Amino acid sequence: MPTETNEPNKLDKLITLCKQRGIIYPGSEIYGGLANSWHFGPYGAVLKNNIRQAWLKHFVFSRSDVVLLESAVIMNPKIWEASGHLQNFTDPLVDCKRCQKRFRADHLLEAKSLEPGYSREKPVDWSEIRCPECGGELTEVRQFNLMFKTHIGPVEEAGSEAYLRPEHAGGMFTDFKIIQQTLRRRLPFGIAQIGKIFRNEITPGNWIFRTREFEIMELEYFVEPDAWQPAFTMWLEAMKTWLKSLGVKESELVFHEIEDGERAHYSKRTIDIEYNYPFGQKELYGLAYRTDYDLSQHAKYSGQDLSYTDPISGQTFMPHVVEPSMGLERTMLVTLLSAYHEEAAPTAKAGETETRIVLKLPLHLAPVQVAVLPLSKNEQLSAPAQQLADSLRPQFVVEYDETQSIGRRYRRQDEIGTPFCITIDFDTLQDKAVTVRERDSMKQERIALDQVISYLSTKFKVN
């Protein structure tokens, strides 16, 4: 009974699994929780880190034209004035006059457009839209700024106001010139960044899909003004191959060209990569052509010259920018949804099967790479098994587990996506060999103890 489609209850099953298996917990739970905040448990934290490392390899270290930056979370507030975030980084908000619930007006319109009988030619009359919770009348639409405001220093006064960054771009644009000059970079080149950002979302939800603090993996790629189109195509391809490397099927993706009037204020072309989540088709990633809007704005507001002079042609101009932007938590969500499988597996009794849940994560993302499992707690087995686990630890992420039946331990490892389980049994003491079980096929093979490291190295391609 494989679950290949994103049926609605697949998400509930995944949330339950992730809580039980130390991947993702509800945040602040012992105090009753904090709505839509999540903690990444021991395996989730490693999975997230493996995704970061894979992203850096794919988008930064395997290329010669991208460098990494880590800018501050709290920056000079003028940055947000120059970038337009103070004025424009808003979402349309409506309140229900009856139940007082708040909604994003564009989401209500979007939901309406999915109703049968909706036609693009005859758009909805806003007054027809009622509260989706209680059917009450809604207030007028107001614009709500998503930036979290804070104060620098001990006194909360007007001059001390600052903002938690709502995106990385600001830091990458303000540092463009110093990076270009100190690293002696010629166009085209990119500046990449991974880190936390903060948005006071009106309606967070759908687990880790929309939260108020999250990480973005993003890069600004600086090009000559007429060279943005090939760069746009190149990054779209890079995003496609990246998603493939996570195990995400192309058939689950929709490439949505955002129309004029619907794009962010800085963008001349945007493609949203959308995914068919169990709760509907929604944005996964964005790719935007930001023109020279940001550099020009920061030059104007800072009074600094941010233009670029090509060392060969001698031409001076403001670079244009293509920006691929990828949320880390949404990446984790689609990776987990793609990896989650339920299938019939044989039990110890001949002819009987039971459902096994398995996370078929790509090998390089699995939080535990190999589990060492002595067949029983017997000292004769646990001593060599501990020894094997210790010998593997310098190269692999290893888990040692000797409690419960071997069947239950396999199932536990399947549920966190461990690609290989090594069992040590009484035969091992005689033949100096172990059984290696592969997660997806459940095939078992006997490997000599002194060959285990090279066997695993080949599988994980460790040199």
When the beta carbons of 66 and 421 are compared against ligand ATP, the nearer one is 66
Judged by beta carbon, residue 180 or residue 325, the one nearer ligand ATP is 325
CB of 61 to ligand ATP, least distance (A): 22
| Nearest distance from C-beta of residue 331 to ligand ATP, angstroms | 7
CA distance 424 to 435: 7
Name the minimum Å distance from CB 265 to ligand ATP.
12
Least Å from the CB of residue 431 to ligand ATP: 51
- Give me 131's structure tokens: 């509260």
The β-bridge partners of 433 are 448
Residue 231 or 389: which CB sits closer to ligand ATP? 231
Nearer to ligand ATP, 288 or 381 (CB): 288
End-to-end CA distance of the chain, in Å? 38
Q: Letter for the amino acid at 24? A: I
Q: How far apart are CA 187 and CA 180, in angstroms?
A: 9
Beta strands in 140-268 (DSSP E): 142-145, 149-151, 161-163, 189-198, 213-223, 253-257
What is the DSSP annotation of 248-264? --GGGEEEEEPPTTTS-
Q: Are strands 90-95 and 102-104 parallel, antiparallel or unpaired?
A: antiparallel
Q: Which helix (H) or strand (E) holds 415?
A: helix 406-416
CB of 115 to ligand ATP, least distance (A): 20
- Between 93 and 368, CB nearer to ligand ATP: 93
CB of 198 to ligand ATP, least distance (A): 9
CA distances from 34 to 30, 180, 202 (A): 10, 42, 15
The footprint of ligand ATP (CB under 6 A) covers 199, 201, 210-211, 214, 216, 283-286, 325-327, 329-330
Nearer to ligand ATP, 272 or 425 (CB): 272
Q: Which residue has the tokens 């020894």?
A: 387
3-state secondary structure of 240: helix
User: What is the closest distance, in whole angstroms, from the C-beta atom of residue 202 to ligand ATP in the complex?
Assistant: 10
In the bound state with ligand ATP, the residue whose beta carbon lies nearer, of 194 and 375, is 194
Closest CA relative to residue 346, chosen from 355, 357, 338: 355
Percent helix, strand and coil across the chain, each to the nearest 5: 35, 30, 35
* Two tokens, residue 397: 């992420």
Comparison of 85 and 356: residue with beta carbon closer to ligand ATP: 85
Nearer of residues 330 and 412 to ligand ATP, judged by Cβ: 330
| C-alpha 103 chain-centroid distance | 25
* Type of residue at 125: D
Contacting residues for 148 by C-beta, under 8 A, at least 6 apart: 163, 164, 166, 198, 199, 200, 212
Residue facing ligand ATP at closest CB distance: 327
Cβ–Cβ under 8 Å, residues 298 and 206: no
CB of 190 to ligand ATP, least distance (A): 16
Q: How far is the CB of 116 from ligand ATP (least distance, A)?
A: 25
Instruction: Please say which residue, 83 or 423, places its beta carbon nearer to ligand ATP.
Output: 83
Would you say 176 or 285 has its CB closer to ligand ATP? 285
CB 220, min distance to ligand ATP, A: 13
Q: Residue 68 to residues 30, 287, 329: CA-CA distances in angstroms? A: 38, 19, 20
Q: How far is the CB of 211 from ligand ATP (least distance, A)?
A: 5
Smallest separation (angstroms) from ligand ATP to the CB of 212? 7
Quick one: CA dihedral 319, 322, 327, 332, positive or negative?
negative
Cβ–Cβ < 8 Å for 422, 434: yes
Sequence-distant (≥ 6) Cβ neighbours of residue 452 within 8 angstroms: 388, 392, 422, 434, 436
Q: CB nearer to ligand ATP: give 285 or 308.
A: 285
The two structure tokens encoding residue 458: 């080949």
